[in-house]
Amino acid sequence: MEMKQIHEKTTALLGWSLQAIEAIDKMNRPYVVVGPPEFKPFADKNGIQFVPWQFNVPIEHSMELYEQLKDFKTKVAVPIYEETVEWAGMLNSLLWENPRIFNKSLLLRDKSLMKRRAHLAGLRVGVFEEAFTKEDVAHFLKRMNEALLNMDEENYEPIHVKPFDKAGTVGHRMIKKREDIEEIDDSEFPLLMESHLEGQEFSCEAFIHNGKVHFLNITEYVKLGHSNFVPASPSLEQWRPQIREQIEKLVSAFEVENGILHPEFFITPDGTIYFGEVAARIPGGHIFEHIERVYGFSPYQGQILCCDPETTEEELNAFFPEEVVSAKGHSGNLMVYPKVKSISKLNIPDELKEHPYFLKHNMFIPTTAKVAERVGFGNHYGSIYFFGEDSTEMRSLLEEYEKHNFYL
């Protein structure tokens, strides 16, 4: 991507991501990466401007970072990870002398505040409460089921819990019985509890500049934490206008000026949309890779352009393609978790490798055979990538291979 404008001021990437670094490196604009100190030798070796920083210190230390970034003539900070969203908020507040940016960013870092804000703005949400102890969780589970007139403790309707400030599926647990509650670690409190929502789950990746949504991607989840594809199937895309409306409500409720929003929703067959949660960072689950594969632009670059208040409307119009119709096909992936305790063999069926939709996989037999215990949804061991024309075929592939045992 060649940028016509000559940029003199520096963009700071908060968080170490090679993909993001590679994307900005191709944009012909100065940048600095702020990341954990262990990356310094690598950054030095490769001539990457680098500020070593630990983001797990109190935000009050941000002045130190601000001073350092000023020396690099930084004009904007771009958050890469969940943990850096509030840092970007604070730094941009300082850089643009607008304290509200930081306060807004905090809304996105607290799942409970975020939900309230969305509720206030008129988005439809499930029933939710905050929990500070295990007792709170037990109480909520019981009361939810009472409300549903379900007295059968053995077959309670589930609830979900998520720590206030963790990204994606980290710490996300489904609770059905007392024992599930006992497994929650004390460090995960406080957390948000919410009712189980039925319906098709999906996420959106909205690229926003000057409060306007310039590009809206819809990612269809086949199974949360396991499989998804981009763009969504026609049956979900038919609700795009309604979905866009929800996104615009979010943008105004959270007063998002510049950057990306990555919310998750549920939609019922009659088109009722429930808000799940929202983040202002790069989505997981390989979604950016899918967007790049089908639309041909780098979403990382898109995010950087959107974060930069000085980007012009023309630049953005030239950068983003038309949604859905310009997609070259559907790009999807399956994240694979071992179903065994110890891995001795990979089992990748030839039919899979020979399927025209199969692109690649990145599974190897890990060096340590023992499989790490999963906490919440945990981390996947490998991914399989698909690309093809037909969303029905894509969905059935993802469903079929989700059942397969790739690790033996």
User: For binding to other proteins (CB under 8 A), which residues are involved?
Assistant: 18-19, 21-22, 25, 42-43, 46, 48, 344-346, 353, 360-362, 364-367
150, 157 Cβ separation under 8 angstroms: yes
Q: Is 247 helix (H, G, I), strand (E, B) or coil?
A: helix
Nearer to other proteins, 16 or 229 (CB): 16
Give least dist CB 105 to other proteins, A: 28
Nearer to other proteins, 132 or 364 (CB): 364
Give least dist CB 355 to other proteins, A: 12
Give least dist CB 334 to other proteins, A: 15
Nearer to other proteins, 22 or 153 (CB): 22
Nearer to other proteins, 210 or 342 (CB): 342
Give least dist CB 347 to other proteins, A: 10
360, 333 Cβ separation under 8 angstroms: no
Can you spell out the DSSP letters for 333-396? EEEE--SSSB---B---HHHHHSTTEEEE-----SS-BPPPP-TT---SEEEEEEES-HHHHHH
Give least dist CB 293 to other proteins, A: 13
C-alpha to C-alpha distance for 129 and 397, rounded to whole angstroms: 37
C-alpha to C-alpha distance for 363 and 340, rounded to whole angstroms: 15
**How do beta strands 227-230 and 330-336 pair?**
antiparallel
Nearer to other proteins, 56 or 367 (CB): 367
Report in angstroms the alpha-carbon separations of 222 from 127, 228, 253, 398: 24, 5, 29, 7
Report CA 63 to chain centroid distance, whole Å: 28
Nearer to other proteins, 63 or 369 (CB): 369
Give least dist CB 242 to other proteins, A: 37
